[in-house]
Amino acid sequence: MRQFGAIAVSLFIAIAIFCSISLVYAANPGSPAPDFTLTDISGKKVSLSELKGKVVLLNFWATWCGPCRAEMPGLNKLYQELREKGLVVLAISVDTSDKPVKEFMKDKKFSFPVLLDTDKEVSFDDYAVMGLPTTIIIDRKGLIAEKVLGEREWDTPQMKEKITKLLMAK
């Protein structure tokens, strides 16, 4: 019994160290955004590296996430207002199946692209997303400008100003 306790404690310590190291090296402001390639809901492959030179919002979400669903209209409005200036929004679904995502997008008619991360390699492994929604804002140089945890009102004057400043930077 004593040996089992020692093994459990050792395992707990190993997991804690792994998680700490993962968070330290995870996508943080000022660091390069990890590149990835995911498939959109129509089957087209999209790579982050193809978007260098643009301001990109990676919005990690799921159809079953109420706060995710609540922030999407504002995110869509922001995208529609600023896409001509170089803003790209990629909504990255972590749903385990594409069916609810396709149904949701068909019903809501949002105009930004939706990518599928069903195995969660990009969201959890590359970007250390621990809760939904999480949005990563990437500047024109491919650096992470900000990691936004939780629901936001994306179409507020303050958020538009923040994104516009990034769009105007060279």
Cβ-count burial 41-53 (b if 16+ within 10 Å, e if not): beeeebebeebee
Whole-number Cα distances in Å, 3 to 10, 11, 138: 11, 12, 48
- In the block, tokens 């990034």 appear at 166
Task: State how far the Cα of 59 lies from the Cα of 6, in Å rounded to an integer.
Answer: 41
- Name the residue with tokens 């997991």: 15
Strand order in the sheet with 114-116: 45-47, 37-40, 114-116, 87-93, 55-61, 134-138, 144-149
Token digits for 95? 């749903």
- 68 assigned to active site: yes
Catalytic residue among 27, 62, 65, 68: 68
Catalytic positions are 68
